[in-house]
Amino acid sequence: MASINLIEAFQEFKDAENIDRPTLMKVVEDVFKTLLRKKFGSDENFDVIVNAEKGDLEIIRRRMIVEDGEVIDPLAEVAYSEAAKIEPDFEVGEELYEEVNIFDFGRRAILAAKQTLASRISDLKKNVLVKKYADRIGEIVSAEVYQVWKKEVLLLDEDGSELILPKSEQIPSDFFKKGETVRTVVERVDLKNNNPVIILSRTSPKFLSKLLEIEVPEIFDGLIVVRKIVRDPGERAKVAVESFDDRIDPVGACVGMKGSRIHGIVRELKNENIDVINWTNNTNLLIQRSLTPARITSMDIDQETRHANVYLKPDQVSLAIGRRGVNIKLACELTGFEIDVYRDNEGEVDEFDIDLEEFSDEIEPWVIDELKRIGCDTARSVLNLTAEELERRTDLEKETITEIRSVLQAEFEKE
């Protein structure tokens, strides 16, 4: 039988499920018409019939039967005597249909066709993958963990397409096992060695935004809009929301009754604390809300330099700064202001204290700046914190902290 089973002969077909059948058939037809042109000089009188379901391929040659000696174009015509050898009942003027045996093309030609076909199918698969995910950037996808490596995780979507979740896009406490389903957001589509690579993320603000859209119908319906999201993945996030309907409390709608809506998102983000605040164009109010859960006493704002000095009660300073300085860092990102936190001792019994700047001859300026970053602007405010806490909240070495405390303590002992 002059036919060939493509699924057996061309293994690449087995990986072509995502390509629609008409496109696949057109590619196969083009490849074999190229083969025909190389062998016969033209493909005009040949029909390439592809059965994509079964993987069968047939090539039919059409020629008009003419009287012996009257063949002008051998590609389009055949002598009666030749046709009669195939079927004695043929008559002059009829068309002769012959099946072309693929193997008549020769082994080298078949191998070349196979390589061309594999290349074309590979290109089609790339185009299908790029098109599919280029339109889904910023959307949530659920995929199954297929392989876990040190620097990335390989996932498979419902069509078996490979997706990559890099370590840098994973929440620090994420732990994946093969076979489990993971929710992520499509971050981007990269090209590596001309191959598309779909990059996923669980740390992107877009992931939190989409989770909120799923959990909060008012966001999905457009009644509440998410103005800005800033995150320290796995630690804390701040979400500024605004309502277009005065009857709807945007914060209450996002949090839900007894936190019912936000709890599911918190679990998905590995217990990431989420502060939902009302967006406002009032800078003072926005900074005040951004430093939640701390309560501000007063503040000085410089709009030109985008700088704000915030004063708080001593017991509120650590809340404003947050664990490892995360709260104040996110507040700066959310508001676009550089925020410095100071202790407001008004109303307290004055206790002898010394400004850190007074120690600039003994302590390097960058060290003083680092201590101010966590709200310690006086000697006593530094000494009120333990060495362990200072080490945890600053980027200072243990030896440096010990030396600083000794210098400050010595000054108080003198007094």
Determine the pLDDT at residue 352: 64
Longest dimension (CA), the chain: 127
Residues 28 and 112 reside in one and the same domain: yes
Q: Tell me which residue of 324, 320, 321, 332 sits closest to 230, measured CA to CA.
A: 332
**H-helix segments, 87-199:** 107-134
Output the six-digit token pair for 297.
């006493």
Q: Which residue has the tokens 């404003």?
A: 320
Two structure tokens written together for 158 = 């419902």
Q: Is 230 inside a domain boundary?
A: no
- Report the alpha-carbon distance of residue 64 to residue 82 in Å, rounded: 12
Selection from 44, 173, 57, 34 nearest residue 116 by Cα = 34
C-alpha neighbours within 13 Å on the C-beta side of residue 116? 15
Sequence-distant (6+) residues with CB within 8 A of 257 are none
- Three-state DSSP class for residue 276: strand
> Residue 329 and residue 339: Cα distance in Å, rounded?
9
* Residue 375 domain flag: yes
95 and 141 both lie in a single domain:
no
Helix axes 283-290, 326-335, angle to 10 degrees: 150
**213 found inside a domain:** no
Q: Is 241 helix (H, G, I), strand (E, B) or coil?
A: strand
Q: Which tokens hold the place of 367? A: 């060290």
- CATH assignment of the domain containing 160: 2.40.50.140
Q: Which of 283, 323, 276, 279 is nearest to 299 (CA)?
A: 283
Average pLDDT over the chain, rounded to whole? 83
How much is the pLDDT for 53? 60
State which of 176, 203, 230 marks the end of a domain. Answer: 203
User: In this structure, are 28 and 126 located in the same domain?
Assistant: yes
Residue 148: predicted pLDDT: 94
404 inside domain: yes
What domain range includes position 80? 4-131
288 vs 361: CA distance, rounded Å: 35
CA 356 to chain CA mean position, Å: 45
Residue 332 lies inside a defined structural domain of this protein:
no
Judged by DSSP in three states, 65 sits in strand
In this predicted structure, what is the pLDDT of residue 323?
79
Last residue of some domain: 115, 131, 147?
131
Residue 345: what pLDDT? Answer: 62
∠ CA 278-280-285, rounded to 5°: 90
Q: Which residues of the chain have pLDDT under 50?
A: 1-12, 14-15, 347-350
* pLDDT at residue 255 in the model: 92
Number of domains in the chain: 3
